[in-house]
Amino acid sequence: MKFVILSQNPNLYSTKRLMEAGIAKGHDMVIIDHSKCDLVIEKKKPGLIYKGKEITGVHGVIPRIGASITFYGTAVVRQFEMMKIFTAVESQALVRSRDKLRSLQVLSRAGLGLPKTVFSNYSKDVGAIIEKAGGAPVVIKLLEGTQGLGVVLADNRNSAESILEAFNGLQARVIVQEFIKEAKGADIRAFVVDGQVVGAMKRQGKEGEFRSNLHRGGSANIIELTDEEENAAIKAARVMGLGVAGVDLLQSSRGPLILEVNSSPGLEGIEAATGKDIAAQIIKYVERHAEE
């Protein structure tokens, strides 16, 4: 079968691993830079042009869409869907996952555990917002932030108020979340493929750092999830409509709390920590559905 990986950088670890896994299974693997695709929208005959040639004969698509190009990347994924081609991440789920506020609302409605979270429209009553999030310390996150960027821990009420006032003055949209002290600067990334957890790692922030992102110097080790954690991760991916997802959660005294559901989770950290061939699991998922 012919599978397309939508990626702007063929040298990224995740892109290379998916290529290797697909080739190992005997598939024709093609990398297409979605930012350079042209969409042909015509009655009952949607098409895609890449480097002057029409894209044909594709059985499945694996989107690796960066946050900075969500709008156009999603349009390309949607075009493949209009062409009746299976995509490992659906366009609507991709859009939903990139909107942090909407994601939290979807997860909350599904009854999943979340840190107390407050969002406002540049409210001047910053003190009330901090109290509603459980009081200082609180975590303040830019809605558009990724990989730990735009995430601040405010240790006390004064600093929290100052940070919120500064963001408000810049008209930068933020959410305020309670700080889960018992997590001790660690979180869990559960990698979900087709409704199953295929790998999980515990990420620990470096000393003095509350963010556990590997891009920020954190470390990762394989972890065995509890039934409650595994069920929460699977349900989170399902309600977000994601066949492939990286579900980030915190261990708390009241059970697992979902932080975020990532629609383009990186493979490098999870494969290194678990020793599992996660890329092959994604290829198997696309195989199963491309044949339907």
Residue pLDDT, tens place only, 104-154: 999 999 999 999 999 988 888 899 999 999 998 999 988 775 555 678 889
Q: What is the DSSP letter of 249?
A: E
68-103: per-residue pLDDT in tens? Answer: 899 999 999 999 999 999 999 999 999 999 988 899
Is the pLDDT at 213 greater than 80? The verdict is: no
Q: How many domains does the chain have?
A: 3
Label residue 281 left, alpha or beta by phi (over 0 means left) and psi (-120 to 50 means alpha). alpha
In contact, 238 and 195? CB cutoff 8 Å:
yes
User: The domain containing residue 70 runs over which residues?
Assistant: 2-89
230-277: per-residue pLDDT in tens? Answer: 999 999 999 999 999 999 999 999 999 999 999 999 999 999 999 999
Is the pLDDT at 211 greater than 70? The verdict is: no
The answer to whether residues 17 and 85 belong to one domain is yes
The CA distance from 245 to 233, in Å, is 9
Percent share of the chain, pLDDT over 90: 76
Residue 272 lies in a domain: no
Q: Which two tokens stand for residue 255?
A: 């059970």
How confident is residue 56, by pLDDT bands cut at 50, 70 and 90? very high
The CATH number linked to 138 is 3.30.1490.20
Average of pLDDT values for 182-211?
A: 86
Nearest CA-CA partner of 50 in 66, 33, 28, 29:
33
- Give the pLDDT confidence score for residue 14 in this predicted structure: 96
Q: Let me know the angle formed at the C-alpha of 193 by 101 and 3, rounded to the nearest 5 degrees.
A: 105
The CA distance from 65 to 69, in Å, is 7
The answer to whether residues 186 and 225 belong to one domain is yes
Residue 194 lies in a domain: yes
The answer to whether residues 211 and 246 belong to one domain is yes
In contact, 130 and 124? CB cutoff 8 Å:
no
In the chain, DSSP finds a helix count (H) and a strand count (E) of 9, 16
Nearest CA-CA partner of 191 in 203, 178, 204, 177:
203
> Which residues, in sequence order, are bridge partners of residue 187?
203
Residue 201 lies in a domain: yes
In contact, 76 and 150? CB cutoff 8 Å:
no
> Which residues, in sequence order, are bridge partners of residue 200?
190
What does pLDDT average to over the chain? 91
The answer to whether residues 36 and 67 belong to one domain is yes
- Give the pLDDT confidence score for residue 145 in this predicted structure: 56
Q: Is the pTM value of this prediction over 0.75?
A: yes
- Give the pLDDT confidence score for residue 170 in this predicted structure: 87
Burial class (CB in 10 A: 0-12, 13-18, 19+), 222: middle
Is the pLDDT at 280 greater than 90? The verdict is: yes
Q: At what angle do helices 100-109 and 227-239 cross, to 10 degrees?
A: 120
Please tell me the total number of residues recorded for the chain in this structure.
292
Q: What is the DSSP string of 47-99?
A: EEEETTEE--S--EEEE---GGGHHHHHHHHHHHHHTT-EESS-HHHHHHHH-
Q: Residue 251: phi, psi to the nearest 5? A: -90, 120
Instruction: Find the range with the poorest average confidence among 59-68, 156-165, 214-223, 228-237.
Output: 214-223
**When comparing pLDDT for 169 and 147, which is higher?**
169
| Distances, alpha carbon 18 to alpha carbons 15, 103, 141, 280, 286, in Å | 5, 27, 31, 7, 11
The CATH number linked to 206 is 3.30.470.20
The answer to whether residues 173 and 195 belong to one domain is no
The CA distance from 42 to 101, in Å, is 34
Q: What is the DSSP letter of 210?
A: -
How confident is residue 286, by pLDDT bands cut at 50, 70 and 90? very high
The CATH number linked to 29 is 3.40.50.20
Is the pLDDT at 34 greater than 60? The verdict is: yes
